[in-house]
Structure 1
Amino acid sequence: MNRQRGLALSGLIVWGVVISLVAILGIRVLPEFMDYYKIRQAVKAVAAESSGKTVPELRQVFGKYAEVEHIKTIGPADLDIFKEDNQVVISFAYEKRVPLVANVSLLIDFKGSSSGRGYGP
C-alpha cells in the first residue's frame, strides 16, 4: 500500500492566505519601527553631544536631526530631558495606530531613552 505525500490544494490555499496576511502586517508595521529607530538614534546623538548645553539648545539640536532624518512623528517639545547620575538623559514616548482592515487597527506604544536603561525617571 502506497501512501501519498504532498500538499493538497486546500492546504496550499490556506498556507498562501496565512503567508500573505503576515506579509501585509509586516509591510504596514515595518515603517513605524524604522521611524522609531531613527528617533532613538537621533536622541542618542543629541545626548552624546549635550555637554554644556541648555534644554532649549538640546531641543533645537534634536529639531535639526529630525529635519535631516525626516522625522515627523514627534517634535522637540515631546522630549523629556533630565539629569541622572550627572548625565543628561533624553527620553520619549508616543503611540502609533496602524490601520489594518476596515475598523481594525494595531496600537503600538513606543518608548525610548538615551540612557539605554528604559524610559524616564
Structure 2
Amino acid sequence: MRTQRGLSFFGFIIIAGFVAAAAIVFFKVVPAYIEYFNVKKAVTSVAKEQGTQPAAAIRESFDKHANISDIKAVSGKDLQIIQAGGKTSITVGYEKVVPVVANVSLLFDFNVDAAGSGAE
C-alpha cells in the first residue's frame, strides 16, 4: 500500500499565511530602502559637485536633488556639513517608521556619509 504524500489543506493555509506576511513586510519596507538609496545618491552627488561651495549652496543643491528624486524624509537643513582643510564632508542621519499592520511598525535608522574634495 502506498502512503499519501503531499501538502494538506491546513498545511497549505499555514504556509500561505507565512508567505503573505513576508510579502506584506517586503512591499512595505522596499520604499524606505529606495528612498535611502536616493538620499545616498543625492548626498554623494552634491558632495562631489558642490564641494567648493558654501554650506547654503550645498543645502540648496541637495533640496533640488531631493525634489527631483522625491525624497521626503530629509531636507537640506538636515545635512551636517563640515568644511575643513579643503575638504567637504556631508552627513545626514534619519529614522523611518514603517507601519506594518495595526499597531505594529518597523523602525529603520539610516545614516549617510559622503566626502568631496574642496579643490579639484
TM-score class, shorter: 0.7 to 0.9
Paired residues of 2:35 and 2:71 also in contact (CA < 8 A) = yes
Q: Which residue of 2 aligns with 1:47?
A: 47
Higher relative contact order (CA 8 A, sep 6+): 2
Secondary structure of 2:5's aligned partner: coil
TM-aligned CA deviation for residue 84 of structure 1: 6.7
Q: Which residue of 1 aligns with 2:12?
A: 12
TM-aligned CA deviation for residue 85 of structure 1: 6.9
Name the CA shift for 1:3/1:86 in 2 (closer, same or farther; >3 Å): farther
CA distance in 2, matches of 1:52, 1:104: 45
2-11 or 52-61, which moves further after superposition?
2-11
In structure 2, stretches of 5+ residues that fail to align are 116-120
Paired residues of 2:43 and 2:62 also in contact (CA < 8 A) = yes
Q: Does 1:61 align with 2:29?
A: no
TM-score of the superposed pair, with normalisation by structure 2 = 0.88
TM-aligned CA deviation for residue 86 of structure 1: 4.4
CA distance in 2, matches of 1:101, 1:16: 17
CA distance in 1, matches of 2:19, 2:52: 52
In structure 1, stretches of 5+ residues that fail to align are 116-121
Secondary structure of 2:2's aligned partner: coil
The one-letter code of the counterpart of 1:105 is: S
TM-score of the superposed pair, with normalisation by structure 1 = 0.87
